[in-house]
Amino acid sequence: MALLADPDSPTDIARRMARMLPDRLAEKAGEGRQFDVKVVSEPFTSGTEDPPTLMRRIMDRGSREDWDIVVALTDLPLHSHGRKIVVDLSHEHGLALLSLPSLGGLRLQTRARQAVEEAVLGLAGPRTTGTEGTGTEGLPRSQPLLGPFAARLTPVRPGPVGQEETADLRYVVGGPRGYLRVLVGMVRANRPWRLVPGLSKALAAALATGAVATLDSTTWSLAGALSAPRLVIAMVGSVGLMIGWLIVDGELWHRATEASPEAGQRARLYNTSTVLTVGIGVLACYAGLMVINLVWALFILNDRVFASMTQTPLHATEYLTLSWFVASVATVGGALGSGLESDEAIRAATYSEREKERRHMLQDDPGDQPVT
């Protein structure tokens, strides 16, 4: 069998699970069965997010390599009939397509491994023949349901499959809980912590701004005069400015290419995940700036000079208030410095830009393009 994985996070997950997957599958399958697992990393989702098209690509790829079972992993959120797909399975062709964001953001490696194990065991097990009992939504009841898979990943449930699709069984998530699960999974797959080292020039500008502001007596007076609500407003405003500037300057806003409700829903999901991803990265930078400013203030400030300028003794509260206010000022300086960054460092944290990278990879090496 083969694990066909999109580049980046899906490939990392596939390679980690491949180390233990053969033994776990052999133990669960019993009857002396052995499984040889191969990991293949390639952008099989390039240019499309249409599940039937992806299933045909996986089927063609498996046919060329003569793989018995193919499980494809992607970090793209997949949609069908207004529902978010967790996994598509074709028992006839031994195929499975797993959308990692639908597994959520917690214990992703474990959940992905469990989902792959159950998909492989379901595909490798005995198949039920016959066409009777087809449900009203197009789900063949003759096919075995992956009960443990659905139970563990609630609110996962069976979904409708078109009669002409390659898949014969589909699991989807729906409702607010399902939307939140996919959104958290997308943010987790984006790995927002990678944004912090990517903003090196912005952080340098913010640190320089903070170092100078900490020495300014006007900043001392302003920080002491601001109430807690005003400090919160300053923090929210500076963080919001940084997020907005990074999204606008990096052209990260995703626009729907089709005038359909599903395309609009997909664009909203992308944009929400982008805002959350960039926001988490900026908040991490803000927290780091606050800590560094506090250490700098503890080292450089003189309590007598501070008291003579502000008529307020320099205690722990003054240190914290000053560091908090300076972090907001420095974040604004960092927003200006972010214009010096390469857009690629920021775009790496968004789904739409990773999809563009996959298209460029196929254009550079057309011989590896999957058959559609």
Helix/strand/coil (H/E/C) assignment for every residue in 282-346: HHHHHHHHHHHHHHHHHHHCCHHHHHHHHCCCCCHHHHHHHHHHHHHHHHHHHHHHHHHCCHHHH
Say which DSSP state 254 is in. Answer: -
Helix (H, G, I), strand (E, B) or coil at 183: helix
Please write the tens of the pLDDT for every residue from 285-331. Answer: 899 999 999 999 999 888 888 888 888 888 898 899 999 999 999 99
Q: How many CB atoms lie within 10 A of CB 257?
A: 9
At 95, which helix (H) or strand (E)? strand 95-99
CB-based contact 365:358 (threshold 8 Å): no
| Burial (CB count within 10 angstroms: exposed 0-12, middle 13-18, buried 19+), residue 133 | exposed
Please tell me the least confidently modeled range out of 21-35, 200-214, 350-364: 350-364
Name which of 323, 356, 147, 298 is nearest 226 in CA terms: 323
Over residues 325-349, mean pLDDT:
74
Confidence of residue 140 (pLDDT cuts 50, 70, 90): very low
pLDDT confidence of residue 362: 52
- What secondary structure, in 3-state letters, does 184-236 show? HHHHHHHCHHHHHHHCHHHHHHHHHHHHHHHCCHHHHHHHHHCCHHHHHHHHH
Confidence of residue 363 (pLDDT cuts 50, 70, 90): low
CA angle 259, 265, 268 (to 5 degrees): 110
Confidence of residue 237 (pLDDT cuts 50, 70, 90): very high
Confidence of residue 339 (pLDDT cuts 50, 70, 90): low
Please write the tens of the pLDDT for every residue from 270-282. Answer: 889 889 988 998 9
pLDDT confidence of residue 156: 75
Confidence of residue 41 (pLDDT cuts 50, 70, 90): very high
Is residue 69 pLDDT above 70, yes or no?
Answer: yes
Please tell me the least confidently modeled range out of 120-124, 224-228, 334-338: 334-338
Is residue 224 pLDDT above 60, yes or no?
Answer: yes
% of residues, the chain, pLDDT over 70: 80
CA distance 323 to 295: 9
Token pair for 61: 């790829």
Q: What is the mean pLDDT of the chain?
A: 81
Token pair for 241: 């400015």
Please write the tens of the pLDDT for every residue from 3-19. Answer: 999 988 899 999 999 99
pLDDT confidence of residue 144: 44
pLDDT confidence of residue 133: 38
For residue 95, the cross-strand partners are 70, 90
Token pair for 44: 């099989």
Is residue 236 pLDDT above 90, yes or no?
Answer: yes
Bridge-based pairing state of the strands 78-80 and 83-90: antiparallel
CB-based contact 71:64 (threshold 8 Å): no
pLDDT confidence of residue 177: 82
Please write the tens of the pLDDT for every residue from 242-267. Answer: 898 888 877 788 777 667 777 777 78
Is residue 371 pLDDT above 80, yes or no?
Answer: no
pLDDT confidence of residue 364: 57
pLDDT confidence of residue 135: 38
pLDDT confidence of residue 7: 87
